[in-house]
């Protein structure tokens, strides 16, 4: 986004909790804010695509072309929710203002939900909105490796345990510092899907330098338009130094699943937890927590509804 269009704290989003409460005293204010995020250039009918409309007495938008009435929450993750939007906004603020996020139990306690299931479902709805469809590809120098997440496996190494294999791609900037990351649950340890993940899943930009260990399968990267830089791990004195970026990210991921989620991460839903970790890690340097609130709501109004039945079924 050009600098001139970058959201401004205190103008486009609240900077503090005090501003948050002042901006959103009721559902009417929340609907107005969502409308600005969903239709920044003015109302557009989701039925016919017409760009004109007016507000009805009940707060709906009516298209001047086809006459269809539309709610600002229709077709979003807030679709047909019976809970006040103000509570949804409070949940989004609570989730984004905490650097390490919040567990379902923590959200239940904070917002007074009647059941753990409600808090769990809300968090998973929000996780569906944490992946921006048009996000930029990793570029420059990218380290690619695999790690394992799960419970303890005494006496077994990662590939031979029941832990879930996670493919990690980490960007390095010109100064060698960690940039953005991408993570994915792999089908099996050390499989060719690591290459598919990097090359065919809109993760790493063509022409980038991909650093890997010495596994022979990675030689295929050179034929896919990438510069391949292997570092054999079996000859290294310090295995953590072979792929330091993915190893650090793996350590932070495991710490997050223990400290915030308290190990309550099922393999079925693990990809969505990885999406949340990525959302947070890639915005770790942001000093404006309100910006994360803004971004998540901005993506939430562009994310399809996900009813509980679908969430449970994966």
pLDDT digits (tens, 9 = 90+) for 11-30: 999 999 999 999 999 999 99
2 pLDDT more than 60: no
Residues 201 and 305 in one domain: no
> Does residue 142 sit in helix, strand or coil?
strand
| Confidence grade of residue 3 (pLDDT, cut at 50, 70, 90) | very low
Which sign, positive or negative, has the C-alpha torsion 140, 144, 149, 154? negative
* Same domain for 146 and 87: no
**DSSP code at position 172:** E
Mean pLDDT of 180-185: 96
Alpha carbon distance 292, 27 (integer Å) = 21
Q: How confident is the model at residue 161 (pLDDT cuts 50, 70, 90)?
A: low
Domain identity same for 262 and 148:
yes
pLDDT in the model for residue 156: 52
Whether residue 275 is contained in a domain is answered as no
Same domain, yes or no: 205 and 251: yes
Per the DSSP assignment, residues forming a β-bridge with 183 are 168
Res 239: pLDDT: 58
pLDDT of 1 > 80? The answer is no
**Both tokens assigned to 206:** 């063509």
Q: What six digits make up the tokens of 164?
A: 């879930």
Residues 184 and 244 reside in one and the same domain: yes
Q: Label residue 94 by pLDDT band (50, 70, 90).
A: very high
- Output the six-digit token pair for 314: 């994966």
Q: Do residues 121 and 11 both lie within one domain?
A: yes
In terms of phi and psi (left: phi > 0; alpha: psi -120 to 50; beta: otherwise), the region of 176 is: left
For the CA atoms of 110, 278, 136, 294, what is the dihedral angle to 10 degrees?
Answer: 10
Q: How many angstroms separate the CA atoms of 217 and 190, rounded?
A: 9
Q: What pLDDT shows up at residue 249? A: 96
- Whole-angstrom distance, CA of residue 180 vs CA of residue 137: 9
Query: Total domain count for the chain?
Result: 2
How far is 313 from 18, CA to CA, in rounded Å?
39
Please give the residue range of the domain that contains residue 107.
Answer: 3-38+73-129+288-313
Contact between residue 239 and residue 231 where contact means Cβ atoms under 8 Å apart: no
Q: Residue 112: is its pLDDT beyond 50?
A: yes
Query: Does 64 reside within a domain?
Result: no
63 lies in some domain: no
Q: Which two tokens stand for residue 89?
A: 């906004």
7 and 125 fall within a common domain: yes
Examine residue 45 and state whether it is found in any structural domain, yes or no.
no
**What pLDDT shows up at residue 92?**
98
Residues 147 and 124 in one domain: no
- Alpha-carbon distance of 168 to 150, in angstroms, equals 16
The CATH number that applies at residue 149 is: 3.30.420.10
User: Is 287 a residue whose pLDDT tops 50?
Assistant: yes
Confidence grade of residue 243 (pLDDT, cut at 50, 70, 90): confident
Note whether 115 and 163 are same-domain residues.
no
Cβ partners under 8 Å of residue 168, min gap 6: 144, 145, 146, 147, 181, 182, 183, 245, 246, 249, 250
Q: Which 3 state secondary structure label does DSSP give 38?
A: helix
What pLDDT was estimated at residue 240?
Answer: 63
Q: Which DSSP category does 241 fall into?
A: G
At 114-126, the pLDDT tens digits run 999 999 999 999 9
């Amino acid at each position: 986004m050009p600098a001139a269009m970058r959201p401004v704290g205190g103008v486009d989003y609240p900077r503090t909790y005090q501003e948050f409460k002042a901006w959103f005293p009721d559902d009417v204010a929340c609907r107005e804010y969502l409308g600005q995020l969903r239709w920044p250039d003015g109302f557009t009918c989701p039925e016919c695509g017409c760009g004109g409309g007016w507000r009805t007495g009940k707060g709906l938008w009516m298209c001047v072309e086809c006459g269809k009435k539309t709610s600002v929450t229709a077709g979003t993750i807030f679709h047909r929710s019976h809970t006040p939007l103000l509570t949804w906004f409070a949940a989004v603020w609570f989730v984004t203002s905490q650097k390490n996020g919040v567990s379902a139990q923590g959200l239940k306690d904070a917002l007074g939900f009647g059941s753990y299931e409600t808090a769990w479902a809300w968090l998973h709805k929000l996780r569906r909105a944490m992946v921006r469809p048009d996000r930029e590809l990793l570029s420059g120098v990218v380290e690619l490796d695999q790690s394992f997440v799960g419970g303890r496996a005494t006496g077994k190494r990662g590939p031979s345990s029941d832990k879930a294999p996670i493919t990690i791609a980490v960007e390095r900037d010109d100064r060698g510092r960690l940039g953005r990351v991408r993570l994915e649950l792999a089908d099996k340890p050390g499989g060719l899907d690591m290459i598919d993940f990097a090359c065919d899943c809109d993760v790493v930009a063509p022409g980038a330098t991909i650093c890997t260990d010495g596994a022979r399968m990675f030689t295929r990267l050179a034929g896919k338009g990438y510069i391949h830089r292997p570092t054999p791990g079996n000859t290294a004195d310090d295995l953590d130094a072979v792929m330091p970026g993915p190893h650090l990210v793996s350590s932070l991921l495991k710490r997050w699943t223990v400290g915030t989620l308290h190990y309550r991460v099922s393999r079925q839903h693990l990809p969505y937890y990885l999406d949340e970790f990525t959302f947070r890690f890639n915005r770790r340097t942001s000093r404006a927590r309100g910006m994360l609130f803004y971004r998540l709501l901005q993506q939430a109004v562009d994310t399809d509804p996900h009813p509980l039945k679908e969430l449970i079924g994966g």
